[in-house]
Amino acid sequence: MNGLFDAMVGVDQVLEKLGTVIDPDLKQDIVSMGMIKDLELNDNNLKFTLELTTPACPFNVEIEDDVRKVIGELTELKSFDMNVTAKVMEGRSLDEDTGMATVKNIIGVASGKGGVGKSTVSLNLAIALSQSGAKVGLLDADIYGPSIPLMLGMKDGYMEVEENKLQPAESNGLKVVSFGFFAEQSHQAAIYRGPIISGILKQFLVDTNWSDLDYLIVDLPPGTGDIPLTLAQTIPITGILVVTTPQDVASNVAVKAIGMFEKLNVPIIGVVENMSHFVCPGGDEKHYIFGQGGGKKISEQYKMPFLGEIPLNSGIMSGSDSGKPIMMTDPDSPSAIAFRASAKNIAAQCSILAAKLQQEMESEGNTDDSTKESSTESTPETQTSN
């Protein structure tokens, strides 16, 4: 009997082993991060749930493999059953925002100039995140020139209003809002001054029934005008994704957008380089038609993550014109693969920002508790009453 009891594995042993598995993005162990749920250990039969921080994490497989490896070192176990799920972390403060409390992360996609394919990148990244299992919304915030309905094949799409809330249209697993859905504007130029444009964006943000979303991608118009400013100043957002192309002229202008958001204390999630290179069909040599390295230069200059490079592909252009995104029509193409890789990197950065936000909130909470305790100890009336 003594030998049998000596061979029994304890919960502390299991947690100690699991505590050696580090999330490569968050640099913290999965136990302290609360990623181990519903642990059961009965007669050396182990069962638990591994809850990842996002279904789009680039290290999901690596973390799972590490968990299986360390649990495998507990040779006394008779069986091991691990259920893997994902729960996206909240990468934005919701304390001062009641209108969009069900949206965990808001990502603004910005560029310094037009013509860099920002809307194409926004759309395909949104689809890539959705295909990973996340709940995703897409807000076309370019009021003057909305293009998302056309790119989704939704030229005749519309949004309903129920209980004073806009109901997003749905396409390809996305909840979509765009000024292009309003029939009276479908073939007309939107001619509005800044305050009106800002008001429309605020309505799209807080007066829309977004329901529960892991990520809301906001496709911003190019430049540093009213709409990017309104987004940054209206609600807490997770951060900004900067899209550029390899040319110096594009990257130089993108720097201005970065500077604006830094002044507004909005985090920069990172940089994606679109139209990065071209690979001839049947070959593997990269041709840098528009130059090379613009995105990486920005990344190095501002010490921000370089999240991916999207190659040129005629299918992207034709798909945008015909309403068939390449993520749906050619998911095995180099461009679609690049979009998926970039989406995973973006999701990872959102988790990093969320973990940092959580630590800051916990730190502030501890400070407040310490202040209250100090105040209580130094109050004569309180001391007397005790």
pLDDT for 196? 85
Residue spans per domain, the chain:
2-86, 106-349
Is the separation of the CB atoms in 112 and 127 below 8 Å? no
Is the separation of the CB atoms in 195 and 230 below 8 Å? no
In CATH, which superfamily holds the domain spanning 106-349?
P-loop containing nucleotide triphosphate hydrolases (3.40.50.300)
Distance, CA of 57 to CA of 213 (rounded, Å): 17
In CATH, which superfamily holds the domain spanning 2-86?
Fe-S cluster assembly (FSCA) (3.30.300.130)
pLDDT for 385? 35
Q: Residues 6 or more apart from 297 whose CB is under 8 A from it?
A: 251
pLDDT for 382? 32
Which tokens sit at 346? 């973006």
pLDDT for 112? 78
**Residue 36: strand, helix, or coil:** strand
- The answer to whether the predicted template modeling score (pTM) of the entire model surpasses 0.85 is yes
Is the separation of the CB atoms in 273 and 295 below 8 Å? yes
Distance, CA of 285 to CA of 279 (rounded, Å): 6
pLDDT for 378? 39
Site of tokens 């958001």: 261
Is the separation of the CB atoms in 345 and 60 below 8 Å? no
* Nearest of 264, 201, 204, 258 to residue 233 by alpha carbon: 264
* Nearest of 144, 209, 207, 206 to residue 179 by alpha carbon: 144
pLDDT for 248? 78
H helix or E strand, kind and range, residue 156:
none
Which tokens sit at 98? 């009641």
Residue by residue, DSSP assigns 48-84 as EEEEES-TT-TTHHHHHHHHHHHHHT-TT-SEEEEEE
CA angle 251, 257, 259 (to 5 degrees): 105
Mean pLDDT by 10 residues, the chain (386 residues): 62 96 93 95 96 91 96 94 94 73 94 86 96 96 89 87 91 93 59 78 92 95 85 90 87 85 92 87 77 86 92 78 87 93 96 90 68 45 34
pLDDT for 97? 56
Distance, CA of 227 to CA of 143 (rounded, Å): 9
Is the separation of the CB atoms in 243 and 118 below 8 Å? yes
